Amino acid sequence: MTLTLQPVRVATGAEEEGMLVFDRDQRLLAVLVHLSPENPVAPGHWFLEAGFDRLDGLNHPTFADLDAAKRWILGHGGPTKEG
Amino acid sequence: MLPAPFPANHSPIIRKLESIFPLTDDERQALLELPIQVTAIKEDQDVVREGDRPSRSFAILSGMTCTSKVMGDGKRQIVAFGVPGDMPDIQSLHLKVLDISVTTLTPCSLGFITHEALWDLCLRSPRIAAAFWRETLVEGAAFREWILNVGRREAYPRMAHILCELLVRLHAVGLAEDHSCDLPITQVEFADALGITAVHVNRVFQQMRADGLIETRGTRLIVPDWERLKEVGDFDETYLHLLTTGGAAA
């Protein structure tokens, strides 16, 4: 995968532990936020807080883990895969 | 003042109509004589679906429903919540093919009335026909308010507005007191109604609780400061055209 992750704190007013997702050209594609284990909607999941370019829009899914988030980002108009 | 008690099956329908239209004793009696088939339905069941051609309409006698439209990929937009007394598919009396789906949010008791019986009543009593007409007009006014709410208000006031509306509508049929009511709507359902994610709904509720705007106990909603919630939600109940708040009928 060509995506790189960088931890970040996000001022959501709730959970703050997040991850910036960059493509291989170091362009910011998405901001993910780690929901707390007590979150009633999707406990412990990663939430697409913001997406850019083709990830921008009404769709804000949650993912069981970071690998699932990366797969979704690559499958939804993220950068072309290496090789 | 609450209306006099009616037989349980008809009471919510009459209460709802009387909240927006003054009924005479004769008209109340004619409504009481409507043949109603009462059916209990579990939660999360479609009562009617988009594309259906119903030969009857139903009134909610107890419980709550949502009216929604569904996109090709299955995502839905809830366009209204139904409370006791509402007749969410009354338009099928005139519009033969339904353009909405109605789903139970909780276990519901629904009273089905054939279109034949409704037509017969409307032809015998033009004023009752006018009351149903007024009901659908008020419903239209609520849809317009929802477009404004979903299209223009930020998530926090958007939620405040919908809570205000639900409290006022439940109060109008005797199901809310002291700015408190049972509100068994899940965060996912609020998300589908407000056009935001369930994660955001959860954050908004947390923030509202922290701000002292609402209290929740199980499915019970308590609003400690009604004026403040109205202010936050930019809520003016004129669009609900209730007689008790000066929504004059013809």
pLDDT at B10: 76
Supply the DSSP string of B127-140, one letter for each residue: HHHHHHHHHHHHHH
DSSP for A38-67, please give it. Answer: T-SSSTT-EEEEEE-GGG-SS---EESSHH
Residues of chain B with pLDDT below 70 are 1-8, 246-250
Asked if B135 and B20 sit in the same domain, the reply is yes
pLDDT of residue B1: 42
CA distance B148 to B161: 11
Give the pLDDT score at B7: 57
Distance, in angstroms, between B56 CA and closest chain A CA? Answer: 37
Domain boundary among B144, B160, B178: B144
Whether residues B18 and B112 fall in one domain: yes
Q: Residue A12 and residue B195: Cβ atoms within 8 Å?
A: no
Q: Which of B108, B128, B144 delimits the end of a domain?
A: B144
Give strand pairing partners of B112: B37, B58
Q: Tens digits of per-residue pLDDT, A17-68?
A: 999 999 999 999 999 999 999 998 899 999 999 999 889 888 899 999 999 9
Is the same domain home to B195 and B80?
Answer: no
- What's the gap in Å between the CA of A43 and the closest CA on chain B? 10
Cβ contacts of A13 on chain B, cutoff 8 Å: 203, 206-207
* Residue that is written with structure tokens 């477009």 in the block: B147
Whether B136 and B98 map to the same domain: the answer is yes
CA distance B165 to B184: 15
Mutate: best of A41, A46, A47, partner B, most B CBs <10 A: A41
- Same domain for B25 and B127, yes or no, is yes
Residues B229 and B165 grouped into a single domain:
yes
B117 burial (CB, 10 Å; 0-12 / 13-18 / 19+) is middle
- Over residues A7-19, the pLDDT tens digits come to 999 998 877 899 9
Q: What is the pLDDT of residue A82?
A: 43
| Same domain flag for B87 and B130 | yes
Q: Do B202 and A12 touch (CB under 8 A)?
A: no
Q: Give the pLDDT score at B8.
A: 62
| Domain membership flag for residue B26 | yes
Q: In this complex, do A14 and B202 lie within 8 Å of one another by their Cβ atoms?
A: yes
Whole-angstrom Cα Rg for chain A: 12
Does B138 share its domain with B156? no
For residues A23 and A30, give the distance between their C-alpha atoms in angstroms, rounded to a whole number: 10
Contacts 24+ apart (CB under 8 A), B227-230: B229/B160, B229/B163, B229/B164, B229/B179, B230/B160, B230/B164
Q: Where are the domains of chain A?
A: 4-75
Q: How many distinct structural domains can be found in chain B?
A: 2
Domain boundary among B101, B117, B144: B144
Collapsing DSSP to helix, strand or coil, A2 comes out as coil
Question: Which CATH number is B56's domain given?
Answer: 2.60.120.10
Is B230 found in the same domain as B110?
no
Interface predicted TM-score (ipTM): 0.84
Confidence of residue A76 (pLDDT cuts 50, 70, 90): confident
Domain extent, residue B223, equals: 152-245
CATH number (domain holding residue B231): 1.10.10.10
Same domain assignment for residues B220 and B167: yes
Q: Do B235 and B207 belong together in one domain?
A: yes
Same domain, B21 and B121: yes
